Amino acid sequence: MEQWSYPPRFDADYLPPADQRYWFPKRETMPAGEREAAILKRLQEVTRYAWEKSPFYRRKWEEAGFHPEQLKSLEDFESRVPVITKKDLREAQARAPQFGDYLCIPESEVHHIHGTSGTTGRPTAFAIGRGDWDAIANAHARIMWAMGMRPGDTIFIAAIFSLYMGSWGALIGAERLRAKAFPFGAGAPGMTARAAMWLDMVRPSAFYGTPSFALHLAETAIAEGLDPRKFGLKTMFFSGEPGASVPGVRDKIMDAYGAKVMDCGSMAEMSPWMNVAGSAETPGMLLWQDVVYTEVCDAVKFQRVPYGQRGTPVYTHLERTSQPMIRLVSGDLTEWRNDPTPCGRTYPTLPRGIFGRIDDMFTIRGENVYPSEVDAAVNQIKGYGGEHRIVISREGAMDELLIRIEADADTHGRGSDGTTDLRNQAAHHLQRMLGLRAKIEICAPGTFPRTDFKARRVVDDREVFREMNARL
């Protein structure tokens, strides 16, 4: 396959012809069986490398009775190689500061340090070698090519430049693509209005951010007297949260900007995180299996589920040497398929993207509900003002679900007639789509703050429930 080696070596000057659909035609369109044979050989190389370089993997594999020489098939990989979790990584870094004993290169070769925020415990440090940084850039450029971006395009990156890997991955992918990178950033007060001004002035062809920020940006632009459709965007690609594969959210972004919308993103630990990403012709997400080998597994035994079923993605790096992740459990939920794709790539797909984290799921009267499903439902309601909150109560004998929904200006301006119509419409639509009843409160436009990063819309708070229930 084109430039297929371990450790990876890429021709830094390589670019396909601009009219070519594929960056690497053979790798992207080869028969699945042929690709799996190549992936098995790569897994043999990766596991031998980790066994030699990493006390973390050697110890874990010895406890499980696995040795790389036992790896003769993909079935062996699934059944013999134990999974690892984020908890394992945090413990390894506590045991062997600062990068853990799964670092497989000398610390002197670390080129970039990123990490998690640490808001829920010990932060995890990502140590990325220079060779890995180049490999990430090449993988992202290749996948961005599949999305329709080309050398010379201007790519507007509206995401926080800090520990967050999303913005950096989009930046180095754009640079490797020989595009004009515009690392605008996000997060500072007043930055959203300035982003709208710059988009109107520069007219970039592509935009990267989170779906929540794109919707917030469109609202802000209109308030500033600007038309987001006149920004000239052709391609918008998103990560960080579910949304770009959620029909109601995706359609609202497409309508606001008149651009193609593509979903991407796995985990920061798995960078190149675009290993799960759609293309210009294929909605949902492709599993770029020759970059990161992905199994969709049962969430208890971590064995692959058949195509057409739901499970949690389990990821393995095929091009990383510094902190290679081998069978890292994502904790997300998705459904995978292996049907022909409109773009002709022969990868499995996630037609509906990633639904969200399994931990984010809540149960109301026996029904499992994901926040992304509520997002999809409310975004399809006429009169919805762009933000909502999901309030859960687990008091008493029955769980209760209360949805606080902003009305748009026109609906709110109609007074009680408008809010009553919206409340009834929302209750009916949510029951039809989710199969459960919810109490609805209609709020004034601008009730909830907008975000330039990942939206947090679920409130599991008994006091909020009591106050809201009393008002209703």
Same structural domain, 274 and 203: yes
Residue type for position 241: E
Strand partners, 333: 356
Same structural domain, 325 and 251: yes
**What domain range is 313 assigned to?**
1-355
Same structural domain, 375 and 436: yes
Q: How many Å is the Cα radius of gyration of the chain?
A: 23
CA angle 66, 72, 74 (to 5 degrees): 90
Same structural domain, 126 and 32: yes
Per residue in 85-144, pLDDT (tens digit) is 999 999 999 999 999 999 999 999 999 999 987 655 678 999 999 999 999 999 999 999
Domain boundary residue, one of 355, 389, 421: 355
Tell me the two tokens of residue 179: 């595009």
Domain boundary residue, one of 310, 325, 355: 355
Same structural domain, 14 and 29: yes
CA angle 206, 211, 213 (to 5 degrees): 90
What is the band of 450 on the pLDDT scale with cuts at 50, 70, 90? confident
* Nearest-angstrom CA–CA distance, 292 and 92: 22
What residues have CB less than 8 Å from 189, skipping those under 6 apart? none
Strand partners, 335: 310
* Nearest-angstrom CA–CA distance, 213 and 217: 6
CATH of the domain at 316: 3.40.50.12780
Of 158 and 452, which is predicted with more confidence? 158
How crowded is residue 5: how many other Cβ atoms within 10 Å of its Cβ?
11
Q: Residue written as tokens 């990633």? A: 354
CATH of the domain at 388: 3.30.300.30
Same structural domain, 413 and 329: no
The pLDDT of 297-304, averaged and rounded, is 94
What is the per-residue burial (b if ≥16 Cβ within 10 Å, else e) of 361-398?
Answer: ebebeeeebbbbbbbbbbbbbebbbbbbbbbbbeeeee
What residues have CB less than 8 Å from 432, skipping those under 6 apart? none
Q: Give me the count of residues in the chain.
A: 472
Strand partners, 400: 393
- DSSP string covering 336-393: -B----TT---S-EETT-EEEEGGG-EEETTEEE-HHHHHHHHTTSTTEEEEEEEEEE
Per residue in 246-291, pLDDT (tens digit) is 888 899 999 999 999 999 999 999 999 999 999 999 999 999 999 9
Same structural domain, 157 and 289: yes
Same structural domain, 434 and 458: yes
- From residue 366, alpha-carbon distances to 54, 128, 311 in Å are 44, 44, 19
pTM of the predicted structure, to 2 decimals: 0.83
What is the band of 397 on the pLDDT scale with cuts at 50, 70, 90? very low
Q: Residue written as tokens 């079923």? A: 309
Same structural domain, 94 and 198: yes
Per residue in 412-438, pLDDT (tens digit) is 999 988 889 999 998 888 888 777 788
- Domains contained in the chain, number: 2
The pLDDT of 134-161, averaged and rounded, is 97
* Nearest-angstrom CA–CA distance, 391 and 393: 7
Q: Where are the alpha helices (DSSP H) in 32-183?
A: 32-53, 55-64, 74-80, 86-95, 130-146, 165-176
- Can you state the percent helix, strand and coil of the chain, rounding each to 5? 40, 20, 40
Same structural domain, 413 and 333: no
* Nearest-angstrom CA–CA distance, 101 and 93: 7
Domain boundary residue, one of 355, 372, 404: 355
Same structural domain, 25 and 90: yes
Is residue 296 within 8 A of residue 276, CB to CB? The reply is no
Same structural domain, 409 and 350: no
- Of 389, 370, 381, 392, the C-alpha closest to 243 is 370
